[in-house]
Structure 1
Amino acid sequence: MNQFLLVDGYNVINAWPKLKKIGRTNLEEARDVLIQELVDYKHYTGYHVMIVFDAHYVKGGDTKSFFTKGVEVIFTKEHQTADSYIEKKVEELMKNRRNFVMVATSDWAEQQVVLGSGAVRISARELKIELDRIVKKIHKKTAATKQIRSTLQDRIDKEIVEKLEKWRRNQ
């Protein structure tokens, strides 16, 4: 099964207090922080992650898409909202019954359209809770890995370590 997460970028930025605060002074930085958080999500869950940003006010703009560490970032074309792009993408992805599609947005109307297309919706707040849970799991896993690591010196008798060290220095 292919798993997809489509994220309404500006909707999430405006729903997360930390990103909203950053976005007031530097919208590009807020986008970058969101992208990095979703890179971690992508690598932990294995989902294909697509973050869609509105660019419908950009004169003459065409849809732009690029990948950052495995996450697809999309800027819509002129006169196209992130909502309309996501709706079309969900419809396209849901044609394949082997696809599981989840959309992250707090826009109620968008959630209804997504659900009507057969996809799953998750609010921006629920996405943040899920990300925080994943980050905790990652930290727990890396802490456990650090504890498991040990050197040969940790596992053998101190006398033997001293003899080996003397032998090494005499060589």
Structure 2
Amino acid sequence: MRYIYIDGYNILNSWPNLKPKNDTEFEGARQSLIEKMQNYGGYNGDNIFIIFDAHLVQGSLEKEEIVGNVTVVFTKEGETADSYIERTVNNLGRRKNVLVVTNDSLEQQLIFQRGAIRMSSLEFYHEVKNIEKTIKEQTKLLSYRKTDRIEDSLDEKILKKLEKMRRGC
């Protein structure tokens, strides 16, 4: 099981299908990212943490919300997503399988020194797209396998009785 720490605004500003065009679209973009990560984490069995900066919000306290298999964190005033991720990964040490998704090159170096794997937002975007494609293909296969025949849902004893009735026995 992996622990994936994502710099939320870093992702929102780099993924083409999530990038908000103005300030009013950030909430919708955050929700879309959370939904995508629920699917991704559910498929892979990963623990996902999306960290959003709130360091410029005066009086902001750290908030943590669990949405399905995703933990969403808004940092406290004066703390960036990078510093939250560094602190958390440092506490995990090398005991856990940790992946950090960010484009910040200094952050990537620090995380690597603490024993975590690093990935750029764009690399992660392609990984998520591949998983979404796999999920669609598997869902399509499952839907093709399903049949709507009554005999597929009936108990074997009932089927035998019906067959006897059909033959007039």
Provide TM-score, normalisation by structure 2: 0.85
Which residue of structure 2 aligns with residue 21 of structure 1?
20
Secondary structure of 1:61's partner? coil
Say whether the 8 Å CA contact 2:75–2:81 is kept in structure 1: yes
Instruction: State whether structure 2 residue 153 is matched by structure 1 residue 149.
Output: no
- Shift, 1:75, TM fit: 0.3
Which residue of structure 2 aligns with residue 44 of structure 1?
43
Out of 100, 105, 122, the position equivalent to 1:103 is: 100
Cα distance between partner residues in 2 of 1:104 and 1:23: 23
Say whether the 8 Å CA contact 1:90–1:117 is kept in structure 2: yes
Which residue of structure 1 aligns with residue 110 of structure 2?
113
Which residue of structure 1 aligns with residue 136 of structure 2?
139
Secondary structure of 2:4's partner? strand
Say whether the 8 Å CA contact 2:12–2:20 is kept in structure 1: no
- Shift, 1:151, TM fit: 3.1
CA distances 1:34-76 after superposition (whole Å, capped 9, x unpaired) = 1111111110111100000000011111110011112000000
Q: Which has the higher helix share?
A: 1
Secondary structure of 2:134's partner? helix
Secondary structure of 1:29's partner? helix
Long gaps (5+) in structure 2: 153-161
Runs of 4+ residues over 2 Å off in structure 1: 21-25, 151-155
CA RMSD of aligned residues (A): 1.9
Instruction: State whether structure 2 residue 130 is matched by structure 1 residue 130.
Output: no
Cα distance between partner residues in 2 of 1:70 and 1:133: 20
Aligned length: 155
Say whether the 8 Å CA contact 1:23–1:29 is kept in structure 2: no
Secondary structure of 1:72's partner? strand
Cα distance between partner residues in 1 of 2:146 and 2:22: 41
Secondary structure of 2:59's partner? coil
Long gaps (5+) in structure 1: 156-163
CA distances 1:103-128 after superposition (whole Å, capped 9, x unpaired) = 00011111011111110001100111
CA distances 1:13-51 after superposition (whole Å, capped 9, x unpaired) = 111122213555411111111111111111011110000
Q: Which moved more, 1:35-44 or 1:17-26?
A: 17-26
Instruction: State whether structure 2 residue 57 is matched by structure 1 residue 58.
Output: yes
Tell me the amino acid that sits aligned with residue 37 of structure 1: K
Cα distance between partner residues in 1 of 2:43 and 2:102: 21
